[in-house]
A and B are shown apart, each in its own frame.
Chain A
Amino acid sequence: MRITLGMMNGRIKSNLMGSAEEMLHAQDVASTGKRIQRPSDDIPGAGRVMSLNTALAEIAQFSRNTEVATTQLNSASTALGTVVARMQEVRKLALQGTNPSLTPEGRTSISVQLKGISEELASVANTQTLGRYIFSGSLSNVKPFVETTTGNEPYNYAGDQGQLTIQISPGNYATTTVNGDSVFNMNGAAAAGAPDIFTMLKNLSELVEAGDTAGISSSLTGVDANLNNVIASQAQIGARQARLSTTKENMLDAKVSTENLLSKTRDADMAEAIIDLQTKQNVYQAALSTAGKVIQQTLVDYMN
């Protein structure tokens, strides 16, 4: 085969270009630390990176949802804790009220305390967290317990039966609210046979005031029924809180393993990338020095 100047130059040029291009790619990989620069570098890998990024974004969102759910459940739990404590106090006061040796001043004092508790419970029942009334169901912008002047019941329930559920992981929803009407037995269904808590307190304070010890004793069953009802709600929320923290841990595990997988798919093995870059640089150097040697001389250089 005849070898000509054009062939040599052409070959040198294409070899230089080729090794320079490979060196550039190796540089990209080593300097960004990412194996996949564009989809055509690794098509299934690029698709997987996108899916994994989506999964990570989803996990982050579910974690935020879990935080919101936890905050709401915590405030409900605190509120119910207060209600339980006050109800136990009520029970104690009611028992004191049955003491026949009480002075009228003592009775009035108990009655005033009972009224105070009623007001405190009403304010607890109207607790707001993250901009919503936690005991008003779906009508979260509506103050659920409204004082009435008509009828026997001191407060009416203005909320509804709706509950807020928040998605905390794929296919997994957490209910973050308890409805006020069941906690405070507003329709008499939650603690059967007992009046709602506010009516009960109103009646109780009237009975204490009047010194009707028999009446007080008989209404104690109602106090117990209501107390048990609130404790049951509290237990329910406790169970939900436990579930949330399990979910949170699972989510953390999922996050770590997804990030691992993402890194394995997307990131370059740095040792390999740097060795690769070094190799490509050597090849380029070799191509350059070969070019220098080849171009140097022809027969012309040896002729006088």
Chain B
Amino acid sequence: MSLSFGLEVALSGLRAQQFALDVTAHNIANASTEGYRRQEAVLRPGMVINGAFSVNGPGTPKLGTGVEVVEVRRMQSSFIDGQVRTANQNVGSWDAKNQSLEQVEAIFGEPSDNGLSSVLDKFWNSWQELSASPESVPARAAVVEYGTEVSQRIGTLRSDLRNMQFNLDDQIKDDAASINRIAHEIADLNQSIGQSATGSFTPNDLMDRRDILLDELSKIVNISASGKPGSEMMLTINGKILVQGTYVNDVQVTEDSDKWSQVTWADGTSIGAKGGALQGRMETRDTIIENYIGSLDKLASGLVESVNATYSKGLTSDGQPAGNFFVAGTNGSNMSVERTLIDKPRLVVTSYTGRQGDNVLAQDIAALKDARNIDGDTANSFYIGLVSQIGSLARESKSTSSVQGLSLEQLSNQRESVSGVSLDEEMLNMIKYQKAYAACARMVTTIDEMIDVVINRLGTVGR
């Protein structure tokens, strides 16, 4: 066993400690990098060889050959990652709904003194006012004015809701584009990972980047990752392949019969998102807001029909049939008071007899306020029902999204606990590796002195 063997051992120690210090430096440098997973140099004692000369006793002594770095381990738990991604999908979906419903609440602006509810009150009251002064032209103008305001308010609410649907539609298109972009980036990374993996050394930082992309993707749509964690990774949405290795199956945006964007596969079948922001947006656009628009239309056409049914029985002062008050057959989108009445409010009739002081018809219309003719409800209580419905869904989505957010936070903490960089720990490691490095260096010095003894002082007796 040569003296220089000791030098080799010490050298392996110097190299390994330096390598480990480099890893520590990398960790510290990335302490605040988003998505970075802590790395750890895995050291292992070097190969064991037979000692070259025997020491006292039977057998050959075994001798270690120093230390080697076998792996740079990436501290990560696939189990927690999977859970984080499931939580991401839930949070994505409920957040999307919550944002929209907060907007819907703001659009309706109830309870307040100037919401649709108070406009409806003013409309019914204007008929009361007219019935108290059936001769009054200003009272007639007020009836037309508030009829118009009810129409316009419903129209504005409806078009605001429609605009939200259009916005959501745009976001859905963006989501589809994001899915494709991320899928391609992942495929590219898969290729790089395949090329740069050597032996037991994995391209950790590339894998970190891929994990970030997976997190991002899981906020948009429900994905599951399967297959090998390396370059062969496969991503599926509801069992259909999105990415496999370097292959990407792009999703498409197609318009359905109502001109709404649908996200489909190349063969035209819907990807059927079950989670993530995409699902939340589609549900909000297609079900939630659509329902509210339907309710507004029902309210509008209910008002139009019931007011017209009474009004059209009236007679003008020349004994002519009164016609309609609201334009017949309209809904929330185009509800309006008849043009002739807007131009000449004095033509509004108040009676079935055409006599100027007769107010029976006006009274009957004012009484429609309490008539349960919109789905078994009065107009006001139908509208209050709609607002309550919006409120309770907003509340549900708010509390669910905050609960889901908490559970995501919990899981992220667990992940951080495994993968995050602790500066205290890195400092300790730094000291550990530094001391070990210093000790190895001292070892080299020691062996150097031993060699010095052998070379310069051996066999110089009596010199």
A residues apposed to B, CB below 8 Å: 1-7, 9-11, 14, 36, 38-41, 43-44, 46-47, 49-51, 53-54, 57-58, 60-62, 64-65, 68-69, 130-132, 136-142, 160, 162, 164-167, 170, 173, 177, 266, 298-300, 303
**A39 in contact with B394 given A7-B417, A141-B135, A266-B111 (CB within 8 Å):** yes
List, in ascending order, chain A residues with CB within 8 A of B413's CB. Answer: 7, 10-11
Docked complex Cα distance between A278 and B358 (Å): 61
List, in ascending order, chain A residues with CB within 8 A of B135's CB. Answer: 130-132, 140-141
In addition to A38-B110, A43-B392, A49-B111, 9 A-B residue pairs with Cβ atoms within 8 Å of each other are A3-B422, A5-B422, A10-B412, A39-B110, A39-B392, A44-B388, A142-B356, A162-B357, A165-B359
Interface residues of B in 102-132 (CB under 8 A from A): 105-106, 108, 110-111, 113, 115, 117-118, 120-122, 124-125, 128-129, 131-132
Docked complex Cα distance between A6 and B30 (Å): 11
Q: Is there a chain A Cβ closer than 8 Å to B133's Cβ? A: yes
Docked complex Cα distance between A21 and B432 (Å): 44
Docked complex Cα distance between A5 and B29 (Å): 13
List, in ascending order, chain B residues with CB within 8 A of A140's CB. Answer: 134-135, 355-357
By beta carbon, the residue of chain A nearest B121 is A57
Q: Is there a chain A Cβ closer than 8 Å to B428's Cβ? A: yes
**A57 in contact with B125 given A36-B111, A38-B394, A46-B387 (CB within 8 Å):** yes
List, in ascending order, chain A residues with CB within 8 A of B353's CB. Answer: 138, 162
User: Does the CB pair A38–B391 fall under 8 Å?
Assistant: yes
List, in ascending order, chain A residues with CB within 8 A of B358's CB. Answer: 138, 162, 164
User: Does the CB pair B122–A167 fall under 8 Å?
Assistant: no
Docked complex Cα distance between A94 and B367 (Å): 52
Docked complex Cα distance between A14 and B388 (Å): 30
Q: Which of B31, B357, B388, B421 contacts A132 (CB 8 A)?
A: B357
Shortest Cβ gap from A302 to chain B (Å): 9
Shortest Cβ gap from A143 to chain B (Å): 12
User: Does the CB pair B32–A5 fall under 8 Å?
Assistant: yes
Q: Which of B117, B121, B370, B395 contacts A40 (CB 8 A)?
A: B395
List, in ascending order, chain B residues with CB within 8 A of A64's CB. Answer: 128-129, 132
The 7 lowest CB-CB distance pairs between A and B, nearest first, are: A39-B391, A140-B357, A4-B420, A138-B355, A57-B121, A40-B395, A40-B394
User: Does the CB pair B420–A5 fall under 8 Å?
Assistant: yes
Docked complex Cα distance between A31 and B335 (Å): 38
Shortest Cβ gap from A277 to chain B (Å): 21
List, in ascending order, chain A residues with CB within 8 A of B178's CB. Answer: none
Q: Which of B134, B412, B423 contacts A298 (CB 8 A)?
A: B423
Q: Which of B128, B363, B420 contacts A7 (CB 8 A)?
A: B420
B residues apposed to A, CB below 8 Å: 31-32, 101, 105-106, 108, 110-111, 113, 115, 117-118, 120-122, 124-125, 128-129, 131-136, 351, 353, 355-359, 363, 366-367, 369-370, 380-381, 383-385, 387-388, 390-392, 394-395, 398, 409, 412-413, 416-418, 420-425, 427-428, 431
List, in ascending order, chain B residues with CB within 8 A of A54's CB. Answer: 117-118, 120-121, 380
Shortest Cβ gap from B352 to chain A (Å): 11
Docked complex Cα distance between A44 and B425 (Å): 54
User: Does the CB pair A164–B105 fall under 8 Å?
Assistant: no
Residue of A40, A60, A167 contacting most chain B CB atoms (<10 Å): A40
**A138 in contact with B388 given A40-B105, A54-B380, A68-B133 (CB within 8 Å):** no
User: Does the CB pair A61–B355 fall under 8 Å?
Assistant: no
Docked complex Cα distance between A134 and B299 (Å): 39
**A46 in contact with B388 given A2-B425, A140-B135 (CB within 8 Å):** yes
List, in ascending order, chain B residues with CB within 8 A of A47's CB. Answer: 384-385, 387-388
By beta carbon, the residue of chain A nearest B31 is A5
List, in ascending order, chain A residues with CB within 8 A of B356's CB. Answer: 132, 138-142
User: Does the CB pair A3–B417 fall under 8 Å?
Assistant: yes
User: Does the CB pair A61–B125 fall under 8 Å?
Assistant: yes
User: Does the CB pair B128–A137 fall under 8 Å?
Assistant: no
List, in ascending order, chain B residues with CB within 8 A of A38's CB. Answer: 105-106, 110, 391, 394
User: Does the CB pair B423–A138 fall under 8 Å?
Assistant: no
Shortest Cβ gap from B26 to chain A (Å): 15
User: Does the CB pair B31–A50 fall under 8 Å?
Assistant: no
Q: Which of A9, A50, A170, A177 contacts B117 (CB 8 A)?
A: A50
List, in ascending order, chain B residues with CB within 8 A of A58's CB. Answer: 121, 124-125, 369
User: Does the CB pair B125–A6 fall under 8 Å?
Assistant: no
List, in ascending order, chain B residues with CB within 8 A of A165's CB. Answer: 359, 363
Q: Which of B359, B412, B420, B431 contacts A2 (CB 8 A)?
A: B420
User: Does the CB pair A6–B420 fall under 8 Å?
Assistant: yes
By beta carbon, the residue of chain B nearest A133 is B357
User: Does the CB pair A300–B388 fall under 8 Å?
Assistant: no
Q: Which of A9, A49, A138 contacts B357 (CB 8 A)?
A: A138
Docked complex Cα distance between A140 and B355 (Å): 8
User: Does the CB pair A14–B409 fall under 8 Å?
Assistant: yes
List, in ascending order, chain B residues with CB within 8 A of A299's CB. Answer: 423-424, 427-428
Shortest Cβ gap from B134 to chain A (Å): 7
User: Does the CB pair B387–A167 fall under 8 Å?
Assistant: no
User: Does the CB pair B357–A167 fall under 8 Å?
Assistant: no
By beta carbon, the residue of chain A nearest B405 is A14
**A39 in contact with B390 given A68-B132, A141-B357, A166-B132 (CB within 8 Å):** yes
Q: Which of B355, B370, B391, B431 contacts A162 (CB 8 A)?
A: B355
By beta carbon, the residue of chain A nearest B394 is A40
